[in-house]
């Protein structure tokens, strides 16, 4: 087995890139023809960015699980598809071959069918990182149901909001989850969410830690009981539902600069082709390699690069239930050693945190199997890059710095491991098929250092990062609100997808993403909207108003700094801080907790009442003077007061 569309030299990269922008439809057709289709497409691409309306492989019929399971179960039935490592190093690991995974997905697809799940239904999944999570995801895809996976760190309130938005009627969860030395009561959280989600008629509960749970008659059933019913049926093979190329595959909620999180929608064919193509090329996966992505399936990284990308490529994907620092900070390196991992894909925040524990946790581990390292989620700083390169890669493994987003479905800008050159702290070059452009505030294209146009003059340029042509993994809509999708991504600049990121480009055409230019924070590689956090803080009793900004944080990349106007009488301000965080935790989840809270008498506002975040950002970063022009402020004195009392 090999991948005819895998790029194997820098020379070839250049040729293929050129071809991909001259003849995008031919290019993508040449990739897509290597997949399993129930019916071939009539047209490769139809699009406009006005509505937006993007259709890839129009008229084609397929099921993504036939590409992830059946074709490999036939040709390499005994190849490990999923290797699972428990949170507990003492618990035995599990291996599921392609044949076994197909069997289990078929079984669970039957369970879904028995529980009334049909094509097009939305199913909420809130589970620990166990193989059954991947099985649940794939079983949804097999029956044609739309999965909406919610990360285990979100609160009941967040789950309820998402379930209501997607009108989910079925939930798949577990009694609880192990996380380091803690246990998380998943079913209890779901039960709280269900108090506000009247549409949910069925909850399927996997046994993981067998913590006591309340099971409601007529609504809640055990995963294991449902499987037993299927076992008495005889042959459990579930024929894959025929899906249209543009039928919905999944919804994944992500935060923006305003309002509630939006449901990013990806569809079957384009997403599959793009996740697979990017996986094979960026990581240079070779048959037999063991590939380990440390993300959680609750985020897009897990969807594309634990489940769909690797499995559609017949790869061996390692799934880890635990956390990097338990039982100690050598956990990742033990796993690499134990399973002879060849490719490791992780996040800068994890690298920085492990770096802080010193080299002793790495020293006695055999990491000689490693060939490729990857980074995702935020810009990787040079210090972390070099530590990763030296201590983990032993200076022989290329590092791929992969830039992409929930909305892009897969990796957009990255070096190809060992094929195109790396440059510390740079995502480097676009994948063939991807056409990035930098624009200024007025939407004018900034030329220069521009590989696509062949112009490469001398200076590093900077602008807002847009993509000017569709790729198969592009977001199709935001669930239930297409106008919001248009507004957020396609209205800032005409005929371009706007990423929300600021970016440099050097004289070789290398991109260096500098971070969000909107009010979106990136905390430990997780996206959090400032407006969402402010709304949560403002719900707290005696909070008058608040403003939240990001500030540089050694490990998390960005920390959350809140300025809060508090009118209560409690003089124990540390207790008030904890109360506020408890409220944020209840409403959003522990991942949105504030790192710093400063109580202020007022916020810097313009005469029209707009908060000047620019100033608050400076203060949070420790810049206590040179605020620029503050004469337009309603009360310029407030700035000085806030700066003096910085925490």
Sheet holding 146-149, edge to edge: 220-222, 202-206, 170-174, 122-126, 146-149, 248-254, 262-267, 477-478
Q: 3-class DSSP state for residue 609?
A: coil
Binding flag, residue 378, ligand WT7 (CB under 6 A) = yes
Q: Return the closest-CA partner of residue 226 out of 207, 211, 198.
A: 207
Binding flag, residue 296, ligand WT7 (CB under 6 A) = no
- The tokens describing 433, both together, are 């098929």
First to last CA, the chain: 58
Residue labelled with tokens 């897969």: 410
Could you tell me if residue 149 is left (phi over 0), alpha (psi between -120 and 50 degrees) or otherwise beta? beta
Residue 465: CB minimum distance to ligand WT7, A: 8
Residue 212: CB minimum distance to ligand WT7, A: 35
Residue labelled with tokens 């967040």: 158
HSE-up (13 A, CA, CB side) for residue 327: 6
CB count within 10 Å of CB 38 equals 13
The Cα angle at residue 41 between residues 69 and 280, in degrees rounded to 5 = 45
In angstroms, rounded to a whole number, what is the distance separating the alpha carbons of residues 439 and 502? 10
Q: Return the closest-CA partner of residue 208 out of 182, 241, 234, 173.
A: 173
- Using the rule CB under 6 A, which residue among 7, 141, 273, 300 binds ligand WT7? 300
Q: 376 vs 620, which CB is nearer to ligand WT7?
A: 376
Binding residues for ligand WT7, total number by CB under 6 A = 23
| Residue of minimal Cβ distance to ligand WT7 | 406
Binding flag, residue 191, ligand WT7 (CB under 6 A) = no
User: In this structure, are residues 7 and 13 in contact, taking their beta carbons and an 8 Å threshold?
Assistant: yes
Residue 348: CB minimum distance to ligand WT7, A: 8
In angstroms, rounded to a whole number, what is the distance separating the alpha carbons of residues 231 and 626? 71
User: In this structure, are residues 173 and 149 in contact, taking their beta carbons and an 8 Å threshold?
Assistant: no
Binding flag, residue 530, ligand WT7 (CB under 6 A) = no
Residue 592: CB minimum distance to ligand WT7, A: 13
Q: 45 vs 475, which CB is nearer to ligand WT7?
A: 475
- Using the rule CB under 6 A, which residue among 298, 377, 529, 550 binds ligand WT7? 377
| DSSP per position, 524-560 | TTEEEEHHHHHHHHHTSTTEEEEEEEEEEETTTEEEE
Residue 400: CB minimum distance to ligand WT7, A: 9
Residue labelled with tokens 């995801």: 137
- Using the rule CB under 6 A, which residue among 405, 468, 487, 583 binds ligand WT7? 405
In angstroms, rounded to a whole number, what is the distance separating the alpha carbons of residues 424 and 446? 24
- The tokens describing 617, both together, are 């950002």
CB count within 10 Å of CB 631 equals 6
- Using the rule CB under 6 A, which residue among 117, 268, 319, 427 binds ligand WT7? 427
Binding flag, residue 109, ligand WT7 (CB under 6 A) = no
Segment contacting ligand WT7 (CB under 6 A): 94-102, 364-372, 522-530, 577-585?
Answer: 522-530
Interaction residues for ligand WT7, span 216-255 (CB under 6 A): 254
Binding flag, residue 153, ligand WT7 (CB under 6 A) = no
Per-residue contact flags (x/-) with ligand WT7 for residues 471 to 510, judged by CB under 6 A: ----------------------------xxx---------
Q: 120 vs 552, which CB is nearer to ligand WT7?
A: 552
Q: 36 vs 258, which CB is nearer to ligand WT7?
A: 258
Per-residue contact flags (x/-) with ligand WT7 for residues 252 to 291, judged by CB under 6 A: --x-------------------------------------
- Using the rule CB under 6 A, which residue among 56, 320, 404, 497 binds ligand WT7? 404
- Using the rule CB under 6 A, which residue among 87, 197, 301, 346 binds ligand WT7? 301
Q: 176 vs 302, which CB is nearer to ligand WT7?
A: 302
Segment contacting ligand WT7 (CB under 6 A): 43-51, 167-175, 313-321, 396-404?
Answer: 396-404
Residue 426: CB minimum distance to ligand WT7, A: 9
Binding flag, residue 420, ligand WT7 (CB under 6 A) = no
- Using the rule CB under 6 A, which residue among 266, 516, 577, 618 binds ligand WT7? 516
Q: Return the closest-CA partner of residue 382 out of 405, 398, 409, 401.
A: 401
- The tokens describing 574, both together, are 């540390």
Residue 516: CB minimum distance to ligand WT7, A: 5
Cross-strand pairs, 504? 462, 512
What does the binding site for ligand WT7 look like in residue numbers (CB under 6 A)? 254, 300-301, 376-379, 401-406, 427, 499-501, 513, 515-516, 522, 525, 527
């Amino acid at each position: 087995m090999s991948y005819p569309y895998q790029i194997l030299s820098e020379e070839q990269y250049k040729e293929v890139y050129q071809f991909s922008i001259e003849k995008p439809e031919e290019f993508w057709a040449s990739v897509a023809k290597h997949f399993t289709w129930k019916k071939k497409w009539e047209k490769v691409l139809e699009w406009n960015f006005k509505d937006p309306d993007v259709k890839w492989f129009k008229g084609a019929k397929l099921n993504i699980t036939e590409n992830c399971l059946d074709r490999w179960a036939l040709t390499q039935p005994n190849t490990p598809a999923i290797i699972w490592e428990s949170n507990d190093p003492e618990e035995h690991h599990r291996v599921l071959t392609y044949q076994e995974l197909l069997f289990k997905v078929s079984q669970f697809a039957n369970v879904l069918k028995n529980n009334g799940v049909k094509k097009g239904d939305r199913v909420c999944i809130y589970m620990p990182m166990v193989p059954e999570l991947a099985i649940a995801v794939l079983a949804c895809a097999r029956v044609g149901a739309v999965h909406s996976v919610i990360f285990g760190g979100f609160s009941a309130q967040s789950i309820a909001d998402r379930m209501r938005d997607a009108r989910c009627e079925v939930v798949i969860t577990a009694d609880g989850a192990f996380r380091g030395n803690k246990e998380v009561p998943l079913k209890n959280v779901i039960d709280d969410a269900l108090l506000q989600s009247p549409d949910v008629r069925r909850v399927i509960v996997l046994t993981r830690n067998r913590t006591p749970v309340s099971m409601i008659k007529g609504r809640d059933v055990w995963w294991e009981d449902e499987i037993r019913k299927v076992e008495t049926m005889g042959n459990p093979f579930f024929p894959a539902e025929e899906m249209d190329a543009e039928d919905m595959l999944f919804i994944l909620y992500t935060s923006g600069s305003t309002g509630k999180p939006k449901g990013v929608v990806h569809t079957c064919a384009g997403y599959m082709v793009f996740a697979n193509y990017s996986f094979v090329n960026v990581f240079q996966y070779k048959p037999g390699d063991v590939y380990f992505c440390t993300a959680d399936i609750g985020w897009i990284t897990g969807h594309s690069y634990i489940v769909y990308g690797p499995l559609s490529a017949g790869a061996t994907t390692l799934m880890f239930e635990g956390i990097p620092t338990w039982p100690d900070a050598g956990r990742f390196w033990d796993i690499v050693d134990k399973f002879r991992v060849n490719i490791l894909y992780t996040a800068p925040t994890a690298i920085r945190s492990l770096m802080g524990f010193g080299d002793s946790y790495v020293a006695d581990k055999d990491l000689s199997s490693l060939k490729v390292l990857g980074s995702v989620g935020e810009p990787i700083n040079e210090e972390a890059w070099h530590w990763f390169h030296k201590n983990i890669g032993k200076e022989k493994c290329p590092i791929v710095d992969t830039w992409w987003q929930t909305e892009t479905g897969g990796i957009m800008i990255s070096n190809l491991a060992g094929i195109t050159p790396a440059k510390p702290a740079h995502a480097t070059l676009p994948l063939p098929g991807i056409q990035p452009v930098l624009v200024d505030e007025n939407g004018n294209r900034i030329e220069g250092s521009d590989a696509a146009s062949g112009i490469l003059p001398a200076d590093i340029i900077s602008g807002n990062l847009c993509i000017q042509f569709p790729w198969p993994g592009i977001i199709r809509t935001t669930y239930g609100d297409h106008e919001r999708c248009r507004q957020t991504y396609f209205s800032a600049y005409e005929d371009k997808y706007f990423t929300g990121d600021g970016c440099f480009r050097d004289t070789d055409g290398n991109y260096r993403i500098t971070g969000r230019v909107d009010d979106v924070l990136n905390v430990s590689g997780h996206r959090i909207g400032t407006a969402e956090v402010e709304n949560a803080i403002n719900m707290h009793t005696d909070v008058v108003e608040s403003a939240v900004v990001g500030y540089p944080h050694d490990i998390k990349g960005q920390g959350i700094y809140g300025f809060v106007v508090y009118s209560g009488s409690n003089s124990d301000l540390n207790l008030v801080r904890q109360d506020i965080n408890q409220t944020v935790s209840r409403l959003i989840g522990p991942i949105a907790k504030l790192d710093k809270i400063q109580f202020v008498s007022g916020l810097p506002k313009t005469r029209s009442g707009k908060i000047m975040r620019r100033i608050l950002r400076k203060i949070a970063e420790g810049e206590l003077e040179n605020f620029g022009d503050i004469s337009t402020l309603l009360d310029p004195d407030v700035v000085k007061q806030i700066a003096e009392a910085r925490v």
